[in-house]
């Protein structure tokens, strides 16, 4: 896979934040997927890093999700600041759901 890029992304998080990765296992279950599907606290976190993800920015972005970072559009208080026009959106509406982890 793209081990060097993954290691660089992990090391960047470790350098700038007080974060520790116990174990990192990278597999390519689906060679075309780039993403993070689990939204849970603690325990193992799984990333989908297919061959199209061999990019530092993409891998760092997905690692951020594994650490609990979310998009601004998913914040619990986003409706105070923006209006989301769901009728203008494609089918991927789940990407815009509010995330409520005890006030993210």
Model confidence pLDDT, tens digit, residues 63-93: 888 888 888 877 888 888 888 777 776 666 5
User: Distance between CA 96 and CA 71 in Å, rounded?
Assistant: 9
Active site residue 98: no
Indicate if 83 and 47 belong to the same structural domain.
Answer: no
What residues are designated binding site for Zn(2+)?
A: 61, 65, 71
Q: What is the pLDDT of residues 1-34, one digit of tens each?
A: 578 888 999 999 999 999 888 777 666 667 677 7
How many independent structural domains does the chain possess? 2
Q: Name the pLDDT band for 41 (thresholds 50, 70, 90).
A: low
Asked if pLDDT for residue 56 goes beyond 90, the answer is yes
Better-scored residue on pLDDT, 86 or 60: 60
User: Distance between CA 51 and CA 34 in Å, rounded?
Assistant: 8
User: Distance between CA 46 and CA 26 in Å, rounded?
Assistant: 9
Asked if pLDDT for residue 39 goes beyond 70, the answer is no
On whether the CB atoms of residues 56 and 5 are closer than 8 A, the answer is yes
Indicate if 64 and 78 belong to the same structural domain.
Answer: no
Indicate if 52 and 93 belong to the same structural domain.
Answer: no
Indicate if 33 and 58 belong to the same structural domain.
Answer: yes
What is the reported pTM?
Answer: 0.69
pLDDT of residue 104: 46
**Catalytic position from the list 38, 62, 95, 97:** 62
Indicate if 49 and 20 belong to the same structural domain.
Answer: yes
What residues are designated binding site?
A: 61, 65, 71
Provide the residue range defining the domain that includes 37.
3-69
């Amino acid at each position: 896979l793209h081990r060097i890029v993954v290691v660089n992304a992990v090391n960047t998080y470790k350098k700038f934040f007080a974060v520790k990765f116990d174990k990192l296992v990278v597999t390519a279950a689906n060679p075309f997927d780039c993403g993070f599907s689990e939204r849970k606290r603690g325990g193992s976190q799984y990333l989908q890093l297919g061959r199209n993800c061999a990019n530092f920015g993409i891998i760092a972005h997905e690692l951020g999700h594994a650490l609990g970072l979310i998009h601004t559009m998913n914040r619990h208080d986003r409706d105070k600041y923006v209006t989301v026009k769901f009728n203008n959106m494609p089918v991927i509406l789940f990407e815009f759901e509010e995330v409520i982890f005890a006030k993210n």
